[in-house]
Homo-oligomer: A and B are copies of this chain.
Amino acid sequence: MKGVIVKKAGGPNQLELVDLPNPQPGEGELLIRVHAAAVNRTDILTREGKMGYLTNPILGIEIAGTVVQVNGESSFSIGDRVMGLVNGGGYGEYVVMPANRAMKIPKSLSFEEAAAIPEVFLTAYQTLFWIGKLQKQETVLIHAGASGVGTAAIQLAKKLCDAKIIVTAGSKRKLAFCQELGADVLINYKEQSFVEEILKATNGRGVDLILDFIGADYWEKNLASIKVEGRWVLIGILGGSELEKIDLFTLMSKCIQLTGTLLTPRSDEYKALLTHDFAEIVTPYLERGEIRPIIDTTFSIETVGKAHTHMEENQNIGKIILKVKE
């Protein structure tokens, strides 16, 4: 079968579509014919040699496809359309997936749309609800609102919690899209002081929860934007990870809970539980079209390098998809 590997840690030109043996499902795993995979920042970090969580030489951590083999007890059958996270191997024609991590694809969704769901929606769900403990009608600040996780988080926070949603993004086009998805307060971080706007929007109180994909660049501003006893989930470092001269005292005096998280390195059991909880709660919304996957662009698997470059340019609204099977 064909699959995309990294020749040598480096740029998009290091990606290569090569011939490899088909993977073999272990006990409790499904073998899936991949129709579509999605591109994630984790893939870029892996390509650059900065991650090292995955042993699979083929990139890719989420897919949508058709079950072609079931190994062991499972509620899935051959021919089922499934989507979900994989432990690497997503950018290939066939991939194995633990059966307890697979989700049935709602009838209304194509494979491309389904591939746009697992990573960003599970991450948004995990960070908003499992870690961030978002409550009904709380205020949440979602940085990079037009990103994959951002667009998922806006929809989930609005539909499940009727939250007041404040987003930051770098263009009018992105902000308008966030508003369409349900965002209430739109901040163009290139033109506005987000701290000022947030304090205005919360009567000086600050937000209950921050989903932070930015890291270092926004450290002080996030501290100023969060309420006393607020929760802050650090989930990305688009603005760098290295901080100089920080004062821990504000974390104490404001009683802030700061939780770092990544989904990829979590255990198989964690991913299975998260998938199960998410599918139970969110599938009805997906079936009714009230929550929807957001696709920016679809590339063929042969042009995977272009797909990576597109993500690195930060122009995308929503997910970047690789079409693996016509």
Q: Would you give the shortest CB distance from A112 to chain B, in whole angstroms? A: 29
Q: How many monomers of this protein are in the complex? A: 2
Contact between chains at A249 and B245 (CB < 8 Å): no
Give the complex CA separation of A215 and B215 in angstroms. 20
Residues of B within 8 A of A246 (CB): 242-243, 246
Q: Is the CB of B265 within 8 A of A251?
A: no
Q: Quote the shortest CB–CB distance from A27 to chain B (angstroms).
A: 25
Residues of B within 8 A of A237 (CB): 248-249, 252
Please report whether the interface of chain A is mostly helix, strand, loop or mixed according to DSSP. mixed
**Does the CB pair A265–B249 fall under 8 Å?**
no
Contact with A260, one of B131, B244, B252 (Cβ below 8 angstroms): B252
Chain A contacts with B in 106-140, Cβ cutoff 8 A: 131
Does A203 count as interface, using CB distance less than 8 angstroms? no
Q: Mark A241-284, 1 if CB is under 8 A from B, else 0.
A: 11111111111111111111110011000000000000000000
Interface size class of A (residues with CB under 8 A): 20 to 34
A252 to B250, alpha carbons, bound, how many Å? 20
Q: Which residues 147-188 in A have Cβ within 8 Å of B in the complex?
A: none
Q: Mark A210-239, 1 if CB is under 8 A from B, else 0.
A: 000001100100000000100000110100
What residues of chain B lie closer than 8 Å to A219, measured between beta carbons?
A: 248
Contacts of A266 in B (CB 8 A): 255
Interchain CB contact under 8 A, B253 and A247: no
Give the docked Cα–Cα distance between A260 and B226 (Å).
Answer: 13
Selected from B247, B252, B253, the residue in CB contact (under 8 A) with A242 is B247
Measured in the bound complex, the distance between the Cα atoms of B228 and A261 in whole Å is 10
Closest to A252 in B: B260
A65 to B1, CA, bound (A): 79
Q: How far is the CB of A103 from chain B (nearest CB, A)?
A: 23
In angstroms, how far is the closest chain B Cβ from the Cβ of A71? Answer: 29
Please give the distance in Å from A191's CB to the nearest CB on chain B: 26
Contact (Cβ within 8 A) B260 A251:
yes
Minimal beta-carbon separation of A195 from chain B (angstroms): 19
Residues on B with C-beta less than 8 A from A249 are 237, 241
A245 pairs with B244, CB closer than 8 A: yes
Q: Is the CB of A262 within 8 A of B257?
A: no
Inter-chain CA distance A124–B30, complex, in Å, is: 48
- Residue from A244, A250, A261 whose CB has the most chain B CB atoms within 10 Å: A261
B253 contacts A265, C-beta separation under 8 Å:
yes
Contact among B244, B250, B251 with A258 in the assembled complex (CB-CB below 8 Å): B251
A250 to chain B: closest residue by CB: B260
- Hey, which chain B residues are within 8 Å of A258, CB to CB? 251, 257-260
- What are 11 inter-chain pairs, A to B, with CB distance below 8 A? A215-B248, A234-B251, A237-B248, A242-B245, A243-B247, A246-B246, A250-B260, A251-B260, A252-B260, A256-B260, A258-B260
**Contact surface of A with B, Cβ cutoff 8 Å:** 131, 215-216, 219, 228, 234-235, 237, 241-262, 265-266
Closest 7 CB pairs of A and B: A251-B260, A252-B260, A241-B249, A257-B259, A241-B248, A258-B258, A255-B261
Q: A219-B248, A255-B265, A257-B258 are in contact. List 15 more A-B contacts (CB 8 A).
A: A216-B248, A228-B265, A234-B248, A241-B247, A242-B245, A242-B246, A243-B243, A243-B248, A245-B245, A251-B259, A252-B262, A253-B260, A256-B259, A256-B260, A257-B259
